[in-house]
Structure 1
Amino acid sequence: MLARVAESCRLLQPSATLAATTSSRSIARIPVWERHIRFDPAEGRKRPSQDVLDRFKRLNNGMWIRAVPGWHKQRYFKDDKWQETSVYYETCTKDECQMLDRMMTPFWLRRKHYPDDPYKAYHVRHDVKSPRVDDKGKFLRERPKVLLEDSVADVYFRDR
């Protein structure tokens, strides 16, 4: 009796593991760090998030800007200083820029050149190395590489 139960369990085991490995991913099972994935089944490729395109603007240096939250809500309640500064744009942080880049397709990450672009003065940043892209679109290192002679490297590093 016990041998028969063990044999039936052994026969069921491969099909159980097969069912576990071929389970489909539903929206509830997608982890938090992958929620940026938007897939278009008709075209078979990733599609950009329309919310990001509506609310943010990507500059050619890799930074994203956005409007001040609530700048158009109940403006008659706000004081003059707030009314003046609320029409300014805010820059996103480095982590926010990386997150927004992940939500876009390569088309939207390319440089865009528009006639009479109101953001033309902001596409190139001077004396700031934080966006990691220079005026030619090349990625910059955050910390320059240090090249040492072999004798100095042997004294201070044990990687060889």
Structure 2
Amino acid sequence: MEEDFLEEGISSSNEELPEEIDPKALDSRLEMYYAVYYDVSWGGWIRTRSGRHKKLWKKKENLRRRLRQHVFCNATQSWLLDKMVTKYWRQPRYYVDDPYEPYHTREEFLVTRKKPLP
């Protein structure tokens, strides 16, 4: 079977290799992911719920409140996002009146808590 391909001039060694990825194009793709996902300082990722702007007139108030909140990505998604982004994008950024400030702390876990227990 492989001989038929070689006779026709099609071989696995002569395949077109993809060109190198332009760093500017890679940064624009990372900006797109960063618009959807947000890296919190302890290593997790958060995202918004899907459909949070659709048909709000139809949804009940408690569902609208839940849609305004962010949810955490699971371990597999966080691992893939960490592999995908570069070190520059993983650096912590500090903003005045940051709306994501509550997500940057994990006080409910003994290992990651910074404030002492009462």
Distance change in 2, residues 1:58/1:44 (3 Å): closer
The alignment covers a number of residue pairs equal to 105
Report what 2:73 is aligned to.
Answer: 92
Q: Secondary structure at the match of 1:73?
A: coil
What amino acid sits opposite 1:23 in the alignment? E
Report what 2:21 is aligned to.
Answer: 39
Query: Structure 2: how far apart are the matches of 1:56 and 1:73?
Result: 19
Q: Scaled by the length of structure 2, what TM-score is found?
A: 0.69
Give 1:105's match in structure 2, choosing from 64, 67, 86. 86
* 2:16 corresponds to 1:24: yes
State the shift of 1:69 in Å: 0.6
Report what 1:67 is aligned to.
Answer: 48
Q: Give the % identical residues.
A: 24
Give 2:39's match in structure 1, choosing from 58, 61, 73. 58
Distance change in 2, residues 1:115/1:44 (3 Å): closer
Uncovered stretches (5+) of structure 1, i.e. residues with no partner? 1-11, 27-37, 137-160
* Deviation digits for residues 117-152 of structure 1 (CA, Å, limit 9, x no counterpart): 22223212124379xxx579xxxxxxxxxxxxxxxx
Report what 2:57 is aligned to.
Answer: 76
Q: Secondary structure at the match of 1:57?
A: strand
* 2:112 corresponds to 1:120: no
State the shift of 1:72 in Å: 0.4
Query: Structure 2: how far apart are the matches of 1:85 and 1:44?
Result: 36
Q: Secondary structure at the match of 1:86?
A: helix
Kindly indicate which of the two structures has a greater share of residues assigned to helix.
Answer: 2
Query: Structure 1: how far apart are the matches of 2:110 and 2:85?
Result: 23
RMSD: 3.3
State the shift of 1:44 in Å: 8.2
8 Å CA contact retained: 1:66, 1:91: yes
